[in-house]
């Protein structure tokens, strides 16, 4: 399977996992050794988020003034903040995902956002999703995920509460009409 980097994964309706049910994940890295992605449609609820974030970052109130929505990016390294952003913003340590997307995990990006030097578009996420060698491919073969190319507009401008349905509809699929149960003929 060629690289899935810069694609989104859309969880199938049968996936009832508390972390991944009804999620859309942007694949940021995919090699023969595994994959890494960010859930992009699961904002933290504010009271829970403030408690969690205050344990990790001392200037919690300032963060919420700068970045009003913080996302659950996945269950791996939940204590680590990553800013998914448009690719025109580059600083030391910024990692290019594609022509459209980049990642920065150093806190100076929050200072840049506060001072008005922010990327055009961004999402702050805590944690990420990860797959070992061959794991993601097996999950796709098992029909746990739909796969689709994506755009900056979709990732940064689609409301979180409709993103999962919108992604499936873009493939011509009504999520209410699929079960995820397969068979062999």
pLDDT above 50 for 148: yes
Is residue 160 assigned to a domain? Answer: yes
Query: Which helix or strand (DSSP H or E) is residue 27 part of?
Result: strand 24-31
Judged on CB neighbours under 10 Å (0-12, 13-18, 19+), 20 is buried
Q: What is the pLDDT of residue 64?
A: 64
Query: For the chain, what is the total number of helices (H) and then of strands (E)?
Result: 6, 9
Is residue 119 assigned to a domain? Answer: no
Segment 109-143, tens digit of pLDDT: 888 888 888 899 999 999 999 999 999 999 999 99
Is residue 37 assigned to a domain? Answer: yes
Residue for token pair 């979709």: 154
Q: What is the pLDDT of residue 185?
A: 44
Is residue 69 assigned to a domain? Answer: yes
Q: What is the DSSP string of 72-121?
A: E--SEEEEEEEEEEETT---TT-EE-SSSEEEE-STHHHHHHHTT---SS
- Rounded average pLDDT over 5-12: 94
The pTM of the full predicted model, rounded to 2 decimals, is 0.87
For 93: left if phi > 0, alpha if psi spans -120 to 50, otherwise beta; the answer is: left
CA distance between the termini of the chain: 25
- State the average pLDDT for the chain: 85
CATH code of the domain covering residue 136: 3.40.1740.10
Is residue 105 assigned to a domain? Answer: no
Is residue 72 assigned to a domain? Answer: yes
pLDDT above 70 for 54: no
Segment 97-110, tens digit of pLDDT: 999 999 998 878 88
Is residue 19 assigned to a domain? Answer: yes
Structural domain that includes position 22? 7-83+126-177
Number of domains in the chain: 1
């Amino acid at each position: 399977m060629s690289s899935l980097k810069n694609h989104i994964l859309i969880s199938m309706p049968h996936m009832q996992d508390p972390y991944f049910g009804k999620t859309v994940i942007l694949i940021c890295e995919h090699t023969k050794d595994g994959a890494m992605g960010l859930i992009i449609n699961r904002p933290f609820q504010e009271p829970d988020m403030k408690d969690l974030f205050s344990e990790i970052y001392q200037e919690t109130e300032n963060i919420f003034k700068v970045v009003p929505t913080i996302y659950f990016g996945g269950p791996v390294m939940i204590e680590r903040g990553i800013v998914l952003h448009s690719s025109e913003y580059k600083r030391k340590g910024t990692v290019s995902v594609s022509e459209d997307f980049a990642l920065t995990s150093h806190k100076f990006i929050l200072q840049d956002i506060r001072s008005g030097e922010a990327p055009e578009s961004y999402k702050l996420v805590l944690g990420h999703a990860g797959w070992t060698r061959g794991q993601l491919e097996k999950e796709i073969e098992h029909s746990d995920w739909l796969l689709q190319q994506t755009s900056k507009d979709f990732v940064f401008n689609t409301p979180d509460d409709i993103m999962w349905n919108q992604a499936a509809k873009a493939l011509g699929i009504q999520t209410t009409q699929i079960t995820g149960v397969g068979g062999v003929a």
